[in-house]
Chains A and B, each alone.
Chain A
């Protein structure tokens, strides 16, 4: 599946449902398995970051990484780093304020790093 398939509406819906962070990973620029899909991912994520920042949700909660299929270490490090950052930032204001408090039940809080 291409990272270009990640609709911006899915990302926004994830935050609405109570996600504290969203991590999107795709192939490196120029090596998209489907041709040019990752270009649009980059464009979309950039616009969403600005939009989230404007609303009052930290843009750091959305991360985009280019990771090739063989770079398993890079993937592990990126995810650990992102998890650490989100734990530091704490629960998202949207999760705390959302009228659908049941979102707190569908998304378990991020476990703290050992």
Chain B
């Protein structure tokens, strides 16, 4: 990762950015840090096992300091989340400098990522994309009643930690649907299921960039990513829209309609 490190040092020396958000090795653990001087970059590491929601941290920082230009080390998925955040006015593209890093083949396969590389990187080879929808197909092959029992069993383990929402880069609403008492009853463990997970699945239907942080953070191991991947696939099949690809194209559920999308059939 030396070429990338050199680029980061250059950016800091030239004061092109105030600081760069990345992972720092601290007592043997890679944890998020804002590197604000070139010397500190000697502790910068890239870690494939421990992924943190860096873009969400960036949103938090730039809300407090909207005039500073901040660099951020991004993988393929994180770059997609940046594009979605720019589109939804949570980040200013003029104040963010992404520095791309590629994912290894092993990580790309593990994440079932369909684009494990950013649009620009200093070094490394682009891993092969994985087009694998077998996890969705597996659930869809079950008959309806069994499918329902499967999901109720999984959702019934939910302890309402809000981890999936806290870590998701597509979740940035100041007042969350999941905390609105008129839409979902407060109190109770598990929360109203499947409503809790369906609320979130619909809300970020055209913003999910399939980073997989949600499933990694769930303490109960609920396969939430399967649900969001299904919604992502629905949006792709119905509206030919993939979040995180085009920085100018708005999500289909973000605006009323201008007849551009082919409307699905009504009735049955």
Which A residues contact B (CB, under 8 angstroms)? 4, 8-9, 12-13, 15-16, 29, 35-40, 42-48, 50-51, 54-58, 60, 63-66, 93-94, 97, 99-100
Contact = CB atoms under 8 A, between A and B. Distances in A.
The 6 closest A-B pairs by CB, nearest first: A39-B257, A56-B148, A56-B147, A50-B234, A46-B264, A16-B195
A46 B230 CA distance: 13
Given A9-B202, A39-B263, A48-B202, A55 B148 contact: yes
A36 B257 contact: yes
Given A43-B263, A93-B144, 10 more contacts: A16-B195, A38-B257, A39-B258, A42-B264, A43-B257, A46-B238, A47-B235, A54-B227, A56-B149, A65-B267
Contacts of A58: 144
A91 to B, nearest CB: 12
B266 A66 contact: yes
B144 A51 contact: no
B268 interface: yes
Contacts of B177: 9
Given A12-B198, A50-B230, A56 B144 contact: yes
Q: Is the interface of B mostly helix, strand, loop or mixed?
A: helix
Interface of B: 136, 139-140, 144-152, 177, 183-184, 192-195, 198-199, 201-203, 205, 227, 230-231, 234-235, 238-239, 252-253, 255-259, 261, 263-264, 266-268
Given A39-B256, A97-B152, A12 B195 contact: yes
B266 A51 contact: no
A78 to B, nearest CB: 8
Contacts of B259: 39
A56 B149 CA distance: 8
B250 to A, nearest CB: 12
Contact of B202 (A8, A57, A63, A97): A8
Given A29-B263, A93-B145, A97-B148, A43 B234 contact: no
The residue in A12, A48, A54, A64 that gathers the most chain B C-beta atoms within 10 A of its C-beta is: A54
Contact of B192 (A8, A54, A100): A100
A15 B198 CA distance: 11
A47 B151 contact: no
